[in-house]
């Protein structure tokens, strides 16, 4: 990955007697899409507020592009774009008019830049329609266009897929992947839609009770224990044949917690005992399953 964009180091935050964040650290490099996940009340929104300078940090440090968010707020925040759930839009204005209003907040945003972000988010054919006629997915893309006007290299999205239908989610997913890859942005996404995050994030930070449980790439987060699912004609005497306990799935399938190099040995024993083998595949768990196992919870949001 590219250069470091966001670094959160040892963040602590308390409200009254309640400790909300306890030594939270994470970082985002150029081109990263980091999924920020955790149960309700885990500290995701508080972390985002500290990153954006919306709340005071009790202890710890946030740096964006090398600038401390508290000591040098304007420079730190100058390259940050953000959208929280549903963007604030004027429904009676066109998409273009909405962007022109936002443009006035920045010094160096001209018509050319507006045209660039319109093309970037794929709204060229509808940008002159009133926002009231937009689908939820189109409104979300317009919100991201607003967040991109000042050419940020860090984009922070809090629950961006809320209320979107499958088509809108796909549009948003494709846009986010394009921004990270082609625009070389770093993107932080807080969401409870783990299936979607799994499809486009390259890294995940799991937070629970204000503490980071794990930060890793998607593949490694899902590596809890290696196991294989094997299907045979029947399970009669199967444990005595392979010489180890099994986890029965149904009348013909079972699971073994073994390493890759052990699988051929198990297969050989089954063949030698005239078992018909229909399948042997490494079990791939979902991000949601990994999340639930690592947080010990049964609720995502």
Parse the chain into domains and list their residue ranges.
Answer: 4-221, 228-284
pLDDT digits (tens, 9 = 90+) for 107-143: 888 899 999 999 988 899 999 999 999 988 889 889 9
Q: Which two tokens stand for residue 136?
A: 């939820």
Whole-number pLDDT of residue 155: 95
pLDDT digits (tens, 9 = 90+) for 217-265: 888 887 766 788 999 999 999 999 999 999 899 999 999 988 889 999 9
Cα(153)–Cα(134) distance, integer angstroms: 27
Kindly tell me if the per-residue pLDDT of 100 is higher than 70: yes
Chain center to CA of 52: 18
Instruction: Please name the helix (run of DSSP H) or strand (run of DSSP E) that holds residue 74, with its range, or none.
Output: helix 73-77
Per-residue DSSP letter, 197 = H
Cα(258)–Cα(245) distance, integer angstroms: 11
CATH of domain 4-221: 3.40.50.300
CB atoms within 10 A of CB 86: 15
pLDDT digits (tens, 9 = 90+) for 200-230: 899 999 999 999 998 988 888 877 667 889 9
Whole-number pLDDT of residue 2: 63
């Amino acid at each position: 990955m590219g250069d470091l964009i966001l670094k959160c180091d040892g963040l602590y935050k308390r409200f009254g007697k309640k400790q909300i964040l306890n030594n939270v650290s994470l970082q985002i490099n150029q081109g990263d899409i980091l999924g920020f996940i955790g149960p309700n009340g885990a500290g995701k929104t508080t972390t985002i507020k500290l990153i954006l300078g919306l709340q005071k940090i009790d202890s710890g440090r946030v740096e964006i592009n090398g600038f401390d968010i508290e000591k040098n707020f304007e420079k730190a925040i100058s390259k940050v774009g953000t959208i929280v759930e549903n963007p604030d839009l004027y429904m009676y204005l066109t998409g273009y008019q909405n962007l022109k209003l936002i443009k006035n907040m920045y010094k160096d945003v001209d018509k050319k830049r507006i045209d660039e972000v319109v093309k970037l988010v794929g709204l060229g054919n509808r940008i002159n329609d009133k926002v009231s006629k937009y689908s939820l997915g189109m409104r979300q893309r317009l919100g991201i266009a607003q967040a991109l006007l000042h050419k940020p290299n860090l984009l922070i999205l809090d629950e961006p897929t809320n209320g979107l239908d499958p088509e809108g989610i796909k549009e948003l997913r494709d846009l986010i992947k394009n921004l990270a890859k082609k625009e070389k942005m770093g993107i932080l996404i807080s969401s409870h839609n783990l299936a979607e995050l799994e499809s486009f994030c390259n890294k995940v930070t799991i937070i629970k009770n204000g503490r980071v449980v794990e930060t890793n790439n998607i593949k490694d987060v899902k590596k809890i224990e290696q196991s294989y699912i094997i299907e045979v004609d029947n399970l009669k005497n199967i444990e005595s044949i392979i010489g180890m306990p099994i986890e029965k799935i149904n009348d013909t399938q079972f699971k073994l917690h073994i390493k890759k190099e052990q699988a051929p040995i198990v297969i050989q024993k089954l063949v030698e005992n005239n078992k018909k083998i229909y399948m042997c595949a490494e079990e791939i768990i979902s991000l949601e399953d990994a999340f639930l196992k690592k947080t010990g919870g049964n609720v995502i949001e």
